[in-house]
């Protein structure tokens, strides 16, 4: 459930890091010793003389957290329980509601709902602010990581009632989420769009991502893959090594994939392509958006800089800082920023920040929405001093995320209050499950491909769904219903397909869901129309590729 904005690229032990830092000698050591002595003195005075009883451990944790707020927005501290929970997201499953979150300035921001998890099912979105959980406030001085874990994690099948504030929606939204076992798979979909085009969706870079990706790519190649769409939208990152390994499967030779630069050479590292990849030839399109961060940006940046892939979508998050996880003696963990990473062309994609002003940093996505950036590429201003060249001489920019080669605005044409309410109360999912259970024997007689091509959600089915919504207190609106009807029908069909055919899967893929919904996705549709440019790009023909803003 915890946000993992780190790129786990180094495996130095805590002893090596602390030894190199604390015993470097000279004035720095003297200043550090004075500071440590002062802190210890104050802590002892409080413990021995303060008028009331105090929890010294809590004071220490609080002081560490406040100290780190003076640094960059991604250096962070987790107590022992929080550290265990944080690690579980990338290497094991857990029971909870399935969101990656960021807690800053007493506010809980949803970074991304985990794909396939219960929060995604009810419509929780990136950028949502969690105000209350089961009536308890998660906004204000009492909001801590420990409290978030306590309120959001729990026994599988138990309910979590949340009040959400969403950018662009005037009224707060109420959601009821059933806790479940959070999927540990990170490749969500891998299927053939047609006889030549394959689609792979990667939701995060966890311990098993590279293995899952290779399996998916191998399967698609066996069925005729000639062109690839790699979807990294909403992918918040994870292990750097898994990201560079995936890039290596698509980039030939020993080309540079990414490099890091720290305070000194201890944390400097170059990562190059080193293996014969499975798909080094053939056009590639990478899908990104404002939720694509960290390791996702490493993959997109490497492919873009080597002119290996056409990047389609919206500007990525802009995280170019590397954190090293350092396990402390009591089981707590410090995630210390030790370097910046750079794409092969030399650009840093870290968006601007000021030390100690993380609140401004965390408001960046809201500012993008308010400035109109999600809807118009003209709203994005580039620093001419941060201009770089790709391997083939195309212009790209650093200083704040990966700008796509082909911009596609956010599609809000289906959005309505009625749709949000259907999501928040699980109406579509519950109706689909009810329908699937009642009609499973008949539906299972056909292959999914036949279902995909021929099944239609009828007016009678929609009427039944609307009745379920009315019983749940959601009043239908003709205007809202007309606006959201296509996505309601598609979501219903997708969920039914997922329940009937997806539950038999052992590979963690949700192909049925994506095959129904992707045709309504404007970024996906645009990508399929851009393969002529992707093919020209691969061949080194840039004459038709006037796609990077100059």
The catalytic residues are 294, 305, 319
**DSSP conformational letter for 260:** E
**DSSP conformational letter for 142:** T
Task: Give Cα separations from 511 to 87, 116, 341, 403, 549 (angstroms).
Answer: 27, 11, 33, 28, 35
> Considering just the CA atoms, what is the radius of gyration of the chain in Å?
24
Q: Which residues contact 119 (CB under 8 A, 6 or more apart)?
A: 97, 98, 99, 110, 113, 175, 177
| Residue 331 CA, distance from chain mean position | 26
| Neighbour-count burial of 269, counting CB atoms closer than 10 A to its CB (0-12 exposed, 13-18 middle, 19+ buried) | middle
Contact 345, 389 (CB under 8 A): yes
Contact 545, 536 (CB under 8 A): yes
Residue 342 burial (CB count, 10 A): 23
Q: Which residues contact 451 (CB under 8 A, 6 or more apart)?
A: 443, 497, 500, 501
Closest alpha carbon to 403 in 547, 207, 238, 213: 547
> How far is it, in rounded angstroms, from Cα 103 to Cα 545?
41
> How far is it, in rounded angstroms, from Cα 546 to Cα 543?
7
Contact 327, 83 (CB under 8 A): yes
Contact 409, 376 (CB under 8 A): yes
Return the SS3 of 506. coil
């Amino acid at each position: 459930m915890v946000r993992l904005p780190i790129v786990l690229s180094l495996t130095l032990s805590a002893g090596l890091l602390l030894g190199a830092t604390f015993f470097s000698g000279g004035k720095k050591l003297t200043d550090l010793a004075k500071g440590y002595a002062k802190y210890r003195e104050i802590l002892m005075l409080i413990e021995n003389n303060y008028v009331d009883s105090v929890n010294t451990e809590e004071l220490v944790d609080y002081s560490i957290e406040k100290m780190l707020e003076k640094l960059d927005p991604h250096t962070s501290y987790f107590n022992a329980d929080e550290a265990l929970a944080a690690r579980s997201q990338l290497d094991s499953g857990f029971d909870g509601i399935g969101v990656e979150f960021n807690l800053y300035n007493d506010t809980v921001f949803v970074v991304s709902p985990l794909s396939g998890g219960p929060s995604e099912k009810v419509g929780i979105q990136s950028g949502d602010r969690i105000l209350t959980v089961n009536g308890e406030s998660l906004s204000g001085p009492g909001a801590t990581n420990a409290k978030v874990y306590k309120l959001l994690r729990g026994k599988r099948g138990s309910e979590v009632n949340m009040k959400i504030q969403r950018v662009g929606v005037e009224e707060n939204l109420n959601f009821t989420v059933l806790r479940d076992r959070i999927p540990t798979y990170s490749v969500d979909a891998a299927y053939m769009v047609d006889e030549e085009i394959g689609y792979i969706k990667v939701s995060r870079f966890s311990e098993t991502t590279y293995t899952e990706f290779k399996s998916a790519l191998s399967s698609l190649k066996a069925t005729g893959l000639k062109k690839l769409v790699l979807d990294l939208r909403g992918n918040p990152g994870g292990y750097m090594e898994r990201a560079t390994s995936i890039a290596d499967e698509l980039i030939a030779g020993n080309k540079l994939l990414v490099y890091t630069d720290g305070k000194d050479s201890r944390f400097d590292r170059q990562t190059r392509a080193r293996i014969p990849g499975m798909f080094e030839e053939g056009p590639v399109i990478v899908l990104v958006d404002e939720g694509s961060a960290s390791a996702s940006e490493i993959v997109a940046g490497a492919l873009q800089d080597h002119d290996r892939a056409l990047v389609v979508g919206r500007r990525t998050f802009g995280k170019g800082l590397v954190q090293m996880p350092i396990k402390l003696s009591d089981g707590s963990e410090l995630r210390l920023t030790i370097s910046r990473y750079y794409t092969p062309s030399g650009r840093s994609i870290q968006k601007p920040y000021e030390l100690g002003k993380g609140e401004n940093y965390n408001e960046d996505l809201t500012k993008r929405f308010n400035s109109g950036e999600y809807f118009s590429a003209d709203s994005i201003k580039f620093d001419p001093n941060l201009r770089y060249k790709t391997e083939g001489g195309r212009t790209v920019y650093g200083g704040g995320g990966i700008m796509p080669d082909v911009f596609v605005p956010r599609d809000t044409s289906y959005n309505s209050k009625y749709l949000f309410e259907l999501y928040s109360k699980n109406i579509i999912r519950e109706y689909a499950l009810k329908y699937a259970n009642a009609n499973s024997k008949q539906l299972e007689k056909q292959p999914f491909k036949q279902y995909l091509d021929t099944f239609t959600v009828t007016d009678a089915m929609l009427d039944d769904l609307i009745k379920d919504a009315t019983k749940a207190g959601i009043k239908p609106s003709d205007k809202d219903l007309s606006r959201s009807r296509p996505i309601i029908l598609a979501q219903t069909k997708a969920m039914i397909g997922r329940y009937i055919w997806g539950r038999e899967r052992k590979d963690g893929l949700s192909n049925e869901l994506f095959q129904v919904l992707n045709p309504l996705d404007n970024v996906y549709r645009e990508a399929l129309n851009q393969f002529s440019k992707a093919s020209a790009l691969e061949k080194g023909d840039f004459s038709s590729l006037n796609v990077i803003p100059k």
